Structure 1
């Protein structure tokens, strides 16, 4: 059981590491901070609730079952952090957000303190690593401690369910998907963890033994519910960034043939190589460097090469835009060949502007790179359909 719980904690905490990978930027964003705090606390709840951790904490402190108030206090703090996260996520006037956050803290800080006090007042001499809730369900003070942490967690979870249902009616797209994941995780927590815990404790009060609900059913349901909630919080924030990185990496690679052809001309300073550079940063540097190289090759652009290649592409059935890009690729290849051979620039260089320099972003450069790889017009030239090169 401990291995499964530790694995869930690791997966839970990994999303916080990804969100907080740029600490200087992240600390300025209350939403990012509250997201990371909630996820880290959730991960700590998993770690603290593992039997191996409970045994180690009890042994280190010399207090039997000291891991119980530690886990319950951590779970209450996690419940509070979820409410704070939802408050920041919903947004609104700063004073209103601040006031709601203070209310959440005012409710849960005393609750955590009460959990510790009730444990100190109770008699928990027998160490219980997996069934403390039901074993001490009838013990004075410990009974109240167990009910208090469960009620505090239930209040936060039900509040999340209500907020998610109301807010999901107002939003669309990834945000709605994230809210639905949070709602699914919260419902699973209520039905799979809280209801089973309440049922097992109530059964003890009535003289029955349903401990299996508390020891076998509740923990995996709580883990799954927490992971769904974590995914719901992280999805709207990470997925757009991830997709942007994927697109940047794709364009970076597609620009490879164009960069290989013109890199000897570029004078753009190379940034310090860092393994943590994002694909977007790498793409930006390649884009700037290619534009610099195209500027350096401009004196070698020959309009006659481009016009003949354009005619060949149009006669091959290309659309006007496709023919233009194909002709530009042939002209660029010709210019790069002559620049690499250290030939003299043209006496009357072309004033023609490449399509890639007329559009923003990397789409034009990608089109040029793809055409440079295919270069059907240049193939036709080499076969003798048109003569484009000098000599």
Structure 2
């Protein structure tokens, strides 16, 4: 059981690290900070509830079952963090948000204080690592402590589900998907964890034995529910960044033909890019190099080549916008070929020179269109062949 619980805690830790990759930015943003705290506490709940962790804490403190109030306190803090995260996420007037955050923090702080106080007053000499809730269900003060943390956690699930249900009717896209994941996770947690635990405890009060609900069904249900809930909170914040990186991979590859054409064009020296980069960073450096090369080719761009290529593209059925990129690509190919010829004077502009304004192609999408025209258009290929013949003559 401990291995499964630690695996769930590890997933939470990885998600928390992804969200907290920029600590200074995260700490200044209440929503990012509260998301990170919530996911971190979710992982800590699993870590603390593992039998191996409970046994180690009990041995370290010398107090049997000391891990119980510790785990229940973390669960209560996790419940509070979910509500605070939802408050920050929903937004509203700053003063109202602050007021509700203070209220939630106060209520759950009192709940945690009550849990610790009740455990101090109780007598629980027999260490129980998996079935403490049912074993001490009839023990004074322990009984109240168990009921308190379950009620606090269940109330959080009910309130959050209600707010998410109302909110999901007002929004669309990834936010709605995230809210539905949160509702699904909290429903699993409410029915599979809180309700089964309470049922098993009440069964003990009536001298029945339903301990299996608490020891066998509740832990995996809690893990599934918490993972769904955390995915719902993280998805609207992580998915845009993931999609941006994914699109950057495709754009980086799409720019390969244009970069292959311009790679040998002499440009001003630039600092070497970092060795390890995310796709977005690699795309950025490729764009910078391409724009530098286009700028270096300004004096070699022949307007006659562009005009001829434009007419040919239009004759072949290309739309005006597509023909514009084909003509520019043909002129770039001709200018790059000139730059590779040692006999071509760099400072002398050919007749009919037409400036290639790099600002026109500063957008990633436009550079990608230029690259595709360069790679696929027969008009551009004809311009490349014409430049090669001119160089040989």
Quote the residue 1:352 is aligned against.
354
CA shift for structure 1 position 328 = 2.1
The answer on whether the counterparts of 2:305 and 2:383 sit within 8 Å (CA) in structure 1 is no
3-state SS of paired residue (2:147): helix
Deviation of the 1:274 alpha carbon: 4.9
Write the deviation string for residues 14-58 of structure 1: whole angstroms up to 9, x where unpaired.
111101101121111111111000100010000111111111111
Mapped partners of 2:188, 2:237: distance in 1:
23
Quick one: distance in 1 between partners of 2:362 and 2:260? Answer: 22
Matched with 2:11 is: 11
Q: CA deviation at 1:354?
A: 4.6
Map 1:250-265 → 2, pairs under 5 A: 250-263=250-263, 264-265=265-266
Structure 2 unaligned spans of 5+: none
Q: Which moved more, 1:371-380 or 1:231-240?
A: 371-380
Match of residue 174 from structure 2: 174
**In the alignment, structure 1 residue 60 sits paired with structure 2 residue 63:** no
The structure-2 alpha-carbon separation of the partners of 1:160 and 1:389, relative to structure 1 and needing over 3 Å to count, comes to same
Q: Hey, what's the Cα distance between the residues in 1 that align with 2:15 and 2:62?
A: 34
Question: Which moves more between the two structures, 93-102 or 322-331?
Answer: 322-331
What are the equivalent positions in structure 2 for 1:231-250 lying under 5 Å apart?
231-250=231-250
Quote the RMSD (CA, aligned, Å): 2.3
Pair 1:348–1:62, CA change in 2 (3 A):
same
Contact 2:13 2:40 in 1 (8 A): yes
Query: Runs of 5+ in structure 1 lacking a partner?
Result: none
Instruction: Report the Cα offset of residue 199 of structure 1.
Output: 0.6
Task: Please give the alpha-carbon distance, in whole angstroms, between the structure 1 residues aligned to 2:294 and 2:187.
Answer: 58
1:317 partner SS: coil
Q: For residue 151 of structure 1, report the CA deviation from its aligned partner.
A: 0.8
Residue in 2 aligned with 1:267? 268
Distance 1:209 1:196 in 2: 13
For 1:199-214, what aligned pairs fall within 5 Å after superposition?
199-214=199-214
CA distance in 2 between counterparts of 1:8 and 1:387 reads 65
In structure 1, the residue matched to 2:122 is 122
For residues 76-120 of structure 1, the C-alpha deviation after alignment (integer angstroms, 9 at most, x for no partner) is 010011111111111122221111111111101111111111111
- Contact kept in structure 1, 2:31 and 2:85, CA below 8 Å: yes
Q: What CA distance in whole angstroms lies between the structure 1 residues aligned with 2:237 and 2:384?
A: 51
What is the number of residues matched between the two proteins?
A: 390
Structure 2 match to 1:371: 373
* Mapped partners of 1:297, 1:197: distance in 2: 73
| More moved, 227-236 vs 329-338 | 329-338
Moved more, 52-61 or 137-146: 52-61
> What is the deviation of 1:387?
7.2
1:131–1:214 Cα contact (<8 Å) kept = yes
Q: 1: distance between equivalents of 2:218 and 2:77?
A: 19
CA separation of 1:351/1:171 partners in 2, compared to 1, >3 Å: closer, same or farther? farther
Q: CA deviation at 1:287?
A: 2.0
Partner of 2:300: 300
Q: Is the 8 A contact 1:381 1:387 kept in 2?
A: no
Given the two structures, how large is their TM-score scaled by the length of structure 2? 0.93
Moved more, 282-291 or 345-354: 345-354
The worse-fitting range, judged by mean Cα deviation, of 189-198 and 280-289 is 280-289
Give 3-state SS (helix, strand or coil) of 2:126's partner. Answer: coil
SS in 1 for 2:178: helix
TM-score, reference length from structure 1: 0.93
- Separation in 2, partners of 1:106, 1:347: 75
